[in-house]
Amino acid sequence: MTLTRKYPYIVVEGPIGSGKSTLARKLAERFSAQLLLENAGANPFLEKFYANPDRHALATQLFFLFQRAEQLSGLAQPDLFGGATIADFFLDKDPLFARLNLNDSEFALYRTIYQHLQPQTRPADLVLYLQVPVDALLERIHKRAIAYEQTISREYLERLAASYSEFFHQYEAAPLLIINNEHLDVAASDEAFHLLLERIEKMRGQREYFNPNLA
């Protein structure tokens, strides 16, 4: 059985700069799967949010919520003909950002809307969670030189990484592989990518870990 027959809907997740989009693209290319990428650049509030989070957090979060729900709406039922989907986001973690960025009254409004949208989306068959130290996240964000991302603070990234860790510590909705992606460079190294594929193929439990040694 091929990887995508066992896991027809795979989600790659992790904080900004963790490499989730790169890995999702690589997996989709390898298995000729449908690729769903979060389109952050289409959010007209995102640059304003990084400049003034308190003022623009709710608009930014709601835009992402509706965008993600729309992208995932076609996945409500499994593809009976064997088509696979790889995504670099899923709706389950959306409240993580909302709780991090919204005040209590804004979050209450957000939760009401989220609860109407969330049941309409399909759960993942496998989640790959990429963990990267904050220093490495900052370095990667700096190197890719997207202008509005350069205002992201270390303090915000620390809070975001901690929120991801807490979320996935409690996550039980799908099989989960937690990957140390500090040195696993799937974009540059075919060896690293094949090591990861082998590790996924060997998964048997609901929660497993991959800490590659490529020295």
Residue with tokens 């790659």: 12
- What string of pLDDT tens digits covers the 215 residues of the chain? 578 888 999 999 999 999 999 999 999 999 999 999 998 889 999 989 988 888 999 999 999 999 998 888 877 555 545 578 999 999 898 999 999 999 999 999 999 999 988 767 788 999 999 999 999 999 988 888 777 777 788 999 999 999 999 999 999 999 999 999 888 877 778 888 999 999 999 999 999 999 876 55
- What pLDDT sits at residue 184? 81
Counting the structural domains of the chain, the total is: 1
Judge whether 96 lies within some domain.
Answer: yes
- Output the domain CATH number for residue 89: 3.40.50.300
Concatenating the DSSP letter of every residue in 64-110 gives HHHHHHHHHGGGSS--TT---EEES--GGGHHHHHHHHS-HHHHHHH
Judge whether 215 lies within some domain.
Answer: no
- What pLDDT sits at residue 214? 56
- What pLDDT sits at residue 33? 93
- Phi and psi (nearest 5°) for 195? -60, -40
Domain interval for residue 114? 3-210
- What pLDDT sits at residue 110? 96
d(CA 118, CA 98): 14
Judge whether 195 lies within some domain.
Answer: yes
Judge whether 155 lies within some domain.
Answer: yes
- What pLDDT sits at residue 149? 78
- What pLDDT sits at residue 130? 94
d(CA 130, CA 37): 16
Nearest Cα residue to 94 out of 167, 165, 25, 150: 167
